[in-house]
């Protein structure tokens, strides 16, 4: 916790932190996690809301949609902390309308990623956050994408402009008012 507090004090104003939920929670067989581990993790990343990016919940490629009851339980526990949540499924069994609806009800965004074996459909599930993750065509980050490639992806989000935060190979889009586009 001291490290996170130090990072927060050293980061400039306006910097937002994104944390990946501990794999001791997300990578448990059948997602049989301990609720107290989630609470402990969330307390450890306690920051002022102005420094929140999002909480990334990344699952292993072996986790299939049969773990949906446990996933919904995890989502409910994590949502009690009010952090914006991005969920990265890495097994295609999750790409179903009822899962998209559950994410939308919790205003959790599905990470849109291009991993060759589990690339996501272009489904926007939250109103205030879009999280893109680029692995490249072979899935190993070896092919660099230029700024133009990222810009070409923006039309999938419909009309209007968005504020764009770019962290190669991750692109996080946050909706802000007034609408404007800023690629850095």
Alpha helices in 11-145 (DSSP H): 23-26, 35-44, 68-79, 97-105
Residues 78/42, Cβ–Cβ less than 8 Å: yes
Instruction: Provide the domain limits for residue 154.
Output: 2-174
Place of tokens 């008012």: 177
Report the candidate in 1, 86, 85, 87 with the shortest Cα–Cα distance to residue 43.
Answer: 1
Task: Mention every residue, 6+ apart, whose C-beta is less than 8 A from residue 110.
Answer: 86, 87, 88, 89, 100, 103, 120, 123, 125
Closest alpha carbon to 114 in 138, 146, 149: 138
* Two structure tokens written together for 173: 């889009």
Q: Does pTM surpass 0.75?
A: yes
Share of the chain above pLDDT 70, in %: 73
184 lies in a domain?
no
- Number of domains within the chain: 1
14 within a domain of the structure (yes/no): yes
- What CATH number has the domain bearing residue 140? 3.20.20.410
Quick check: is 182 in a domain? no
Model confidence band, residue 170 (pLDDT cutoffs 50, 70, 90): low
Helix axes 35-44, 68-79, angle to 10 degrees: 40
pLDDT for residue 18 is more than 80: yes
pLDDT for residue 73? 98
Tell me if 121 is assigned to some domain: yes
Q: Are 91 and 62 in contact (CB under 8 A)?
A: yes
């Amino acid at each position: 916790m001291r490290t996170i507090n130090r990072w927060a004090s050293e980061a400039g104003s306006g910097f937002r932190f994104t944390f990946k939920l501990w794999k001791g929670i997300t990578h448990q067989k059948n997602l049989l996690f301990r609720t107290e581990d989630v609470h402990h993790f969330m307390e450890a990343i306690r920051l002022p809301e102005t420094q929140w990016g999002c909480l990334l919940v990344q699952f292993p490629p072996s986790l299939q949609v049969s773990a949906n009851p446990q996933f919904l339980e995890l989502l409910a526990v994590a949502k009690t902390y009010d952090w914006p949540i991005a969920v990265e499924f890495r097994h295609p069994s999750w790409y179903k309308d009822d899962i998209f609806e559950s994410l939308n009800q919790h205003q959790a965004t599905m990470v849109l990623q291009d991993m060759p074996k589990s690339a996501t459909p272009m489904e926007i599930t939250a109103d205030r956050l879009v999280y893109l993750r680029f692995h490249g065509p072979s899935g190993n980050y070896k092919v660099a994408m230029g700024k133009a490639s990222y810009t070409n992806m923006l039309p999938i989000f419909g009309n209007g402009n968005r504020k764009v935060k770019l962290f190669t190979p991750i692109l996080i889009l946050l909706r802000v008012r007034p609408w404007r586009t800023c690629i850095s």
